[in-house]
Amino acid sequence: RVQRTFAHGWIGGASLRTSDYPDTRVDRLALGVERYWSAWRAAYTFNLTRLRGTHSPGHDVRIARAYGDGSEVGIQFAFGREAALVGTGVVASDVTAAILFGRHVFAPQWSWLWNVGVIDQGDLYTRRGIGVGLERRF
Protein backbone atom coordinates (compact mmCIF):
# COMPACT_ATOMS: atom_id res chain seq x y z
CA ARG A 1 0.00 0.00 0.00
CA VAL A 2 1.23 3.48 -0.84
CA GLN A 3 -0.26 6.74 0.28
CA ARG A 4 0.57 10.38 -0.30
CA THR A 5 -0.70 13.56 1.33
CA PHE A 6 -1.33 16.55 -0.92
CA ALA A 7 -2.19 20.18 -0.19
CA HIS A 8 -5.57 21.37 1.03
CA GLY A 9 -6.52 18.15 2.89
CA TRP A 10 -6.26 15.70 -0.03
CA ILE A 11 -4.83 12.19 0.33
CA GLY A 12 -4.34 9.66 -2.45
CA GLY A 13 -3.63 5.98 -2.06
CA ALA A 14 -3.21 2.72 -3.93
CA SER A 15 -2.91 -0.89 -2.82
CA LEU A 16 -2.61 -4.33 -4.35
CA ARG A 17 -3.64 -7.51 -2.55
CA THR A 18 -3.29 -11.10 -3.70
CA SER A 19 -5.15 -13.95 -1.99
CA ASP A 20 -4.44 -17.59 -2.85
CA TYR A 21 -7.14 -20.23 -2.38
CA PRO A 22 -6.95 -23.97 -3.09
CA ASP A 23 -8.63 -23.60 -6.51
CA THR A 24 -7.92 -20.00 -7.55
CA ARG A 25 -6.14 -16.72 -6.94
CA VAL A 26 -7.82 -13.34 -6.35
CA ASP A 27 -6.01 -10.07 -7.09
CA ARG A 28 -7.45 -6.74 -5.96
CA LEU A 29 -6.28 -3.27 -6.93
CA ALA A 30 -7.66 -0.36 -4.90
CA LEU A 31 -7.26 3.31 -5.86
CA GLY A 32 -8.60 5.88 -3.43
CA VAL A 33 -8.85 9.54 -2.65
CA GLU A 34 -9.79 11.27 0.63
CA ARG A 35 -10.52 14.89 1.40
CA TYR A 36 -10.50 16.45 4.86
CA TRP A 37 -12.06 19.85 5.56
CA SER A 38 -13.09 21.34 8.85
CA ALA A 39 -14.56 18.45 10.89
CA TRP A 40 -15.47 16.40 7.78
CA ARG A 41 -13.87 13.58 5.81
CA ALA A 42 -15.03 12.23 2.45
CA ALA A 43 -13.47 9.21 0.74
CA TYR A 44 -13.91 7.28 -2.49
CA THR A 45 -12.20 3.99 -3.40
CA PHE A 46 -12.34 2.22 -6.74
CA ASN A 47 -11.62 -1.51 -6.53
CA LEU A 48 -10.77 -3.79 -9.42
CA THR A 49 -10.86 -7.51 -8.59
CA ARG A 50 -9.43 -10.14 -10.92
CA LEU A 51 -10.80 -13.67 -10.51
CA ARG A 52 -10.23 -16.38 -13.11
CA GLY A 53 -9.28 -13.90 -15.81
CA THR A 54 -12.32 -11.65 -15.36
CA HIS A 55 -12.19 -8.15 -13.92
CA SER A 56 -14.92 -6.91 -11.56
CA PRO A 57 -15.18 -3.22 -10.58
CA GLY A 58 -16.43 -2.01 -7.20
CA HIS A 59 -16.92 1.33 -5.48
CA ASP A 60 -16.82 2.49 -1.85
CA VAL A 61 -18.00 5.96 -0.78
CA ARG A 62 -17.77 7.30 2.78
CA ILE A 63 -18.47 10.55 4.54
CA ALA A 64 -17.78 11.14 8.22
CA ARG A 65 -17.79 13.94 10.75
CA ALA A 66 -15.15 14.14 13.45
CA TYR A 67 -15.86 15.18 17.01
CA GLY A 68 -13.58 15.32 20.01
CA ASP A 69 -10.05 13.98 19.63
CA GLY A 70 -10.15 11.25 16.95
CA SER A 71 -13.82 10.32 17.32
CA GLU A 72 -16.10 10.22 14.27
CA VAL A 73 -19.49 9.15 12.98
CA GLY A 74 -20.26 8.49 9.34
CA ILE A 75 -21.98 6.55 6.59
CA GLN A 76 -20.60 4.20 3.95
CA PHE A 77 -22.08 3.01 0.66
CA ALA A 78 -20.54 0.24 -1.44
CA PHE A 79 -21.64 -1.21 -4.77
CA GLY A 80 -20.25 -3.20 -7.67
CA ARG A 81 -18.82 -6.71 -7.90
CA GLU A 82 -16.40 -8.46 -5.58
CA ALA A 83 -15.02 -11.90 -4.81
CA ALA A 84 -16.87 -13.90 -2.16
CA LEU A 85 -15.90 -17.17 -0.50
CA VAL A 86 -18.71 -19.71 -0.89
CA GLY A 87 -18.10 -23.06 0.77
CA THR A 88 -14.66 -24.05 -0.47
CA GLY A 89 -14.75 -21.93 -3.65
CA VAL A 90 -14.54 -18.29 -4.65
CA VAL A 91 -17.09 -16.58 -6.91
CA ALA A 92 -17.66 -13.03 -8.13
CA SER A 93 -20.99 -11.54 -7.09
CA ASP A 94 -22.84 -8.24 -7.07
CA VAL A 95 -22.67 -6.34 -3.79
CA THR A 96 -24.49 -3.33 -2.36
CA ALA A 97 -24.05 -2.05 1.17
CA ALA A 98 -25.12 0.81 3.42
CA ILE A 99 -23.46 1.10 6.81
CA LEU A 100 -23.60 3.69 9.58
CA PHE A 101 -20.35 3.59 11.59
CA GLY A 102 -18.52 5.33 14.38
CA ARG A 103 -15.48 5.46 16.61
CA HIS A 104 -15.61 7.02 20.05
CA VAL A 105 -12.24 7.67 21.67
CA PHE A 106 -12.50 7.42 25.46
CA ALA A 107 -8.78 7.23 26.40
CA PRO A 108 -5.55 8.13 24.56
CA GLN A 109 -5.14 4.65 23.00
CA TRP A 110 -8.66 3.22 23.39
CA SER A 111 -11.83 3.57 21.34
CA TRP A 112 -15.26 2.00 21.02
CA LEU A 113 -16.11 1.05 17.45
CA TRP A 114 -19.66 0.44 16.27
CA ASN A 115 -21.59 -0.11 13.05
CA VAL A 116 -25.08 -0.94 11.87
CA GLY A 117 -25.99 -1.76 8.33
CA VAL A 118 -26.99 -4.09 5.54
CA ILE A 119 -24.80 -5.87 2.97
CA ASP A 120 -26.49 -7.56 0.01
CA GLN A 121 -24.14 -10.10 -1.59
CA GLY A 122 -26.15 -10.70 -4.78
CA ASP A 123 -27.97 -14.02 -4.87
CA LEU A 124 -25.73 -15.44 -2.12
CA TYR A 125 -26.98 -13.73 1.04
CA THR A 126 -28.09 -10.53 2.72
CA ARG A 127 -26.44 -9.66 6.02
CA ARG A 128 -28.08 -7.21 8.41
CA GLY A 129 -26.28 -6.51 11.61
CA ILE A 130 -24.92 -4.46 14.42
CA GLY A 131 -21.29 -4.56 15.44
CA VAL A 132 -19.51 -3.30 18.53
CA GLY A 133 -15.77 -3.46 19.11
CA LEU A 134 -12.95 -2.28 21.29
CA GLU A 135 -9.84 -0.83 19.63
CA ARG A 136 -6.38 -0.25 21.12
CA ARG A 137 -3.97 1.78 19.04
CA PHE A 138 -0.24 1.26 19.47
H helix runs in 8-106, sequence order: none
Tell me the per-residue pLDDT of 10-62, one tens digit each, with 9 for 90 and over.
999 999 999 888 888 889 999 999 999 999 999 999 999 988 888 899 999 99
Quick check: 87 pLDDT over 80?
Answer: no
User: Contact, 92 vs 82, CB < 8 A?
Assistant: yes
User: Are 74 and 102 spatial neighbours (Cβ–Cβ below 8 Å)?
Assistant: yes
Global confidence as pTM: 0.86
Q: Is the confidence at residue 88, as pLDDT, over 70?
A: no
DSSP 1: -
